[in-house]
Structure formats: C-alpha cells, structure tokens
Amino acid sequence: MKRLRWPLLIAILALVTIAVLLLGRQPVLTPVEPVIEPATGGVYAEGLVGKLIRLNPLLDYFNQPDRDIDRLIFSGLLRFDDRGLPVGELADSWGISRDGMVYNVSIQPEAVWHDGEPVTSDDVLFTIEMLRDDASLLPPDLREMWRQVDVKALDEKTLQFRLPEPYSPFLDTLTFGILPAHLLSGLTFDEMINDPFNLAPVGSGPYRFDRLIVEEGQIKGVVLKAFKDFYREPAYIDELVFRYYPDEQTALEAYKEREVLGIDRSTLTTLPTVLREPELNLYTGRLPELSMIFLNLGNSGTPFLQDAAVRRALLMGLNRQGMIDRILGGQAILADGPIFPSTWAYYDGTQRVPFDPEGAIELLKSAGYTLPAEGGAVRQNEEGTSLALELLYPIDSPQHIAIAEEIQQDWGEIGVGVTLKGVTYRELVDEYLSGRAYQAALVDINLARSPDPDPYPFWHQAQASGGQNYSNWDDRQASEYLEAARITTDLGERTKLYNNFQVRFNQELPALPLFYPVYNYAVDGEVQGLRMGPLFEPSDRYNTATDWFLITKRTLDNNQQVSTPEASPPP
C-alpha cells in the first residue's frame, strides 16, 4: 500500500492539471448587442393645411395638399434627388442619343397599378395626350413643348421621345404622374375633371388609396395603405392618414391633441411654438425660390445701373443677413447667384459679396459719385446725375413691405436715394417687368418643379426683348455659356459651363441676389428614418417616405451569444 501512494498522488495531480488546462481552453461567451432594424406596421398621421379638391396628378397643379398625396399614390417616369440629378421611378433605365434629340425610356418590368394591371407604354402615351390638351392646367409653354415632342411606344414597356432640337433639361419634364389608361382612356380632359376617379384614384406609387375620411358631410381626410406589390421595396409604415386643417395653428393644436404626428409646414406663424415642443423634430430644406432685386440696365433714367461697379456697391450696401434675421426670423439662406446651392450645377467657389457699407461708399466714389458740396444725402457725378431710383415691390405681403423699407434705409446710408412704389405682384410682373417699365424691382423667382437650373430664360441676351430677361442684360460671354449648356448632355461639361456662367454673373451682377427661403417640416420623434434635403417643391419631403418607420425589431446573431475562443498558449 505504501508503494501505491506516490503513483496515485501523481495520477491525481496530473488529472487536476489536465482539467485546469481544459477549462482554460473553454470558449468565452460574449453577450451580443441586439441589432435594431425597421419593421413594417404602424400608422402615421399628418396635418395638411388646405383641403382636398381632386386626387389626380394632371389636376393638382395649383393645390399643394393634392400634390402631396398624389406624390405617394402616383409615379412619374423620373424624380430628382436633392442635388437635382434624375432618379428612376417608373423608368427602369433611359438612354440619350449623341445629338441629344432622342430619349429612349424603359418602364420597370414589375410595375403594376394598384388594381393589379401592368403599367405599360400606353399609360404614358395617354397621359401625354392629356398634357397636350387645350384644357390642360399646364402652363402654355409646357403644353406647347409637349406638342412638339414626338412620342411613340417601341414596345409594351419602352418609349421613345424625339425632340425637334437638342434640349438637355428635357428630363425635367418626365416627372409628371402617370395615369392608368385602362381606366380613363375613354374620357376627354373636360370629362376627366369631374370623374369619380379623382376621389378614389388608382395609381402605381408606394401607397394606394384606401378611403376618404368624411365627417358631417365634409371630406376631412384621406387614408392610404402601403402597396405590397410596389415595384421597388415596399414602405415600412402600413398606413398614412392625412387630415385637413384651415391653418397652421389649428394643425399644431391637432398635434398637441395627438390627432396627428406631423404638420406639413411651419412658417413664422407657428415656428416659435413648434420649437418649444420637445418631441417635435423640425426638418428644414431650401425652397426652389430666389428673392432678388432686378435692375433695369436699359432704363435711360438710371444710366448708373449700367456700371458694374455701381451695381456691386448697391449689393455691398445691403444688410441681407439682417433682413433674414429681423424680417424672416432666420428662415432663409444668403444667395450668391441664380443657381441653387447644394445642386450639381452650383459653383461653390463663387465669391460672396459681403455687407460692407464703407467699401460700397468707396466704390461709388471711384465711379465718380460724391455727396454734393452744397449739401444733400444723395450722391451725384460731375454731370449732375443723381444716384436715385424707384424701387417697385409687391404690396401683397407684410414681409415684402418690410424688406423694401430696409433696402431703402440701407441704400440711403451709402448715399443712394430710393423712392418706394408698392404694386400687386401680378401688376409687377405683367405690367412693369414684362414691359421693362421699371428701374429696380424686388421680386421672388419661383423655380418649383425645375431641378435643372437652365438660367437661359432669365439671363440670355435673346430673352431681353419679349422674354424673361427683365434686367435687359446683354452679355455675349454669359449667353454663350448658357447656349452650350442647353444642348450638351454631358453632365461634366454642363457643370463647367454653369460654373463659368456663375463666375460671369458674379462679376457683372445684372441683378442683386438676396436670399433663398427655406421650408420647415415638423414631425414627431416617434417617426424614424426620415431624411430631407433641399427641395424642388414641398412634396419632395416624401422622397424617402418608403424608408420611414414607426416600429422596430431586434435581431441577435447565433441566437443569444457568439462564441469567441481564446488564443492557444504558446508551446
């Protein structure tokens, strides 16, 4: 027995050592953080300021609430991202001929209407015929453009557009909502206006019409359901409810009562209150608008406006940021020129003209304009020409009145006399600008639904007589850039041409850019996945609506844990 004790003890120690080594090589269990992902389901309700008229993309031109809902029900061939670049909707692909006159477009093979019928070339042809109709709500120039474009179906899912001449902004025109020919082709445009389709539409977009909300005999809202057979990824949120309100304040009260989770817009009327709501997120995007001062370079009563140095001094003398802060509540972005920032055509090297009244005075002195020796607040040159002009402004809104008064005050500080004249906006455009019967005018240029900048209509010298070149800017160099950019389809070349145009515009300043207004969209923090960039119209806030979600799911890899073995010990 004594002989066996030492071997037994050695064996026990060996077993213990082996057990310790084996335990040391056991896998280490590491908890895995759950991955949070969007899940389908939920109801998002939004308050729209206005009322329903007709849910039909050919009839919504003048009613923004209809356009908002139509954006979700109907699809165009294309839409544009926030940089102004085309993105396919119903169009699966497209090609452009070398001469820029032929566009071939293929329709998504899986695209179907909400009633299950396939979307075909016939639907596009029918819609275009309606656009060409004399009763169409399109502006006359767009109606005429479509009459000059030859459109034909190459097959059930392919179309060809043949232009009379190269026109590179043509893709802009392919964003119109497509209508179902199999439901409407027997109607004239006038008959379509009053057809029941407009209150129970069938589209091909990510959401389908479900029902109207009717209370006390009045339409108070619209309910949409996610279309599960959408040709792209279906939306996460299962149901969208839109409720109509007479004004922003009423819509905001509805949010406080939890009737809605979003408000379609927030202006200075409600913005201070919206910013105090802790759960209400504000999404801001630049609008496709530009406030500026047109200068009539051809007016014989103001010859000093033909001097680029004087025009630069006028811009340097304006406290534009002060106007934005004091009058617009900070809801605008300083403008450098006629092409919107953050778009593909914008030149970020444009020199910003600062607010510098002392520098403006020096420029005016160098141009020969000084204060009279005998006294007076308005500068003159040796020929006795006074730096005095009449500024027209829209009398329709308090904001325009306040801005015009600030311009008068700022220019008075540098020795420029300003007489203010308020007119209605329609009079300003139809009588004074169109007839070139003005000296200076405060205006808003609205380029909604025009992602391609195409500054040609406002700044090409050929448009100075009878066109929209209201400043009478006769600059051959700038015009050549615009001509070339209008006919080339190469995006890189067009970008260079527009950059050159912006440099020339900044040098000459035929008009004085003030600011770009912004759009505010208020949505409860419960809604996730929402992104909003610069807008080409307010409905663009729904560009990413299929990515929004209210419900999340948590997923774990390898059930609950992941096994991570330690490294083997060195030999």
Model confidence pLDDT, tens digit, residues 420-465: 999 999 999 999 999 999 999 999 999 998 899 999 999 999 999 8
Shared domain check, 543 and 425: no
Residue 4 lies in a domain: no
Question: What are the DSSP calls for 311-323, one per residue?
Answer: HHHHHHT--HHHH
Domain end call among 517, 544, 563? 517
Shared domain check, 406 and 385: yes
Q: What is the CATH number of the domain that holds 434?
A: 3.10.105.10
In this structure, which amino acid lies at residue 276? R
Count the Cβ atoms, other than its own, within 10 Å of residue 295: 26
Residue 7 lies in a domain: no
State the DSSP code for 432.
I
Shared domain check, 194 and 261: no
In this structure, which amino acid lies at residue 363? L
Shared domain check, 194 and 222: no
Domain end call among 204, 233, 257? 204
Shared domain check, 443 and 542: no
Least confident window among 10-24, 295-309, 504-518: 10-24
Residue 127 lies in a domain: yes
Give the mean model confidence (pLDDT) for residues 508-533: 97
pLDDT above 90: percentage of residues in the chain: 88
Residue 14 lies in a domain: no
The pLDDT of residue 555: 74
pLDDT band at 1 (very low <50, low <70, confident <90, very high): very low
Residue 284 lies in a domain: no
Shared domain check, 166 and 92: yes
Shared domain check, 461 and 360: yes
pLDDT, one tens digit per residue, over 170-181 is 999 999 999 999
Residue 61 lies in a domain: no
Q: What is the CATH number of the domain that holds 532?
A: 3.40.190.10
Give the total number of structural domains in the chain: 3
Distant-in-sequence, close-in-space partners of 351: CB < 8 Å, separation ≥ 6: 336, 506
pTM for this entry: 0.88
Shared domain check, 39 and 180: no
Shared domain check, 468 and 335: yes
Shared domain check, 467 and 553: no
For helices 308-316 and 357-366, give the axis angle rounded to 10 degrees.
160
Domain end call among 498, 517, 536? 517
Which residue, among 197, 161, 175, has the nearest Cα to 71 in the 3D structure?
Answer: 175
pLDDT above 70: percentage of residues in the chain: 91
Q: What is the CATH number of the domain that holds 198?
A: 3.90.76.10
Domain with 255, as residue range(s), is 30-51+206-279+525-571
pLDDT, one tens digit per residue, over 148-199 is 999 999 999 999 999 999 999 999 999 999 999 999 999 999 999 999 999 9
Residue 507 lies in a domain: yes
Shared domain check, 353 and 380: yes
Alpha helix ranges (H) inside 202-296: 248-256, 271-276
Residue 391 lies in a domain: yes
Count the Cβ atoms, other than its own, within 10 Å of residue 401: 17
Question: What are the DSSP calls for 493-525, one per residue?
Answer: HHHHHHHHHHHHHHHH-SEEEEEEEEEEEEEET
The pLDDT of residue 30: 57
Shared domain check, 304 and 165: no
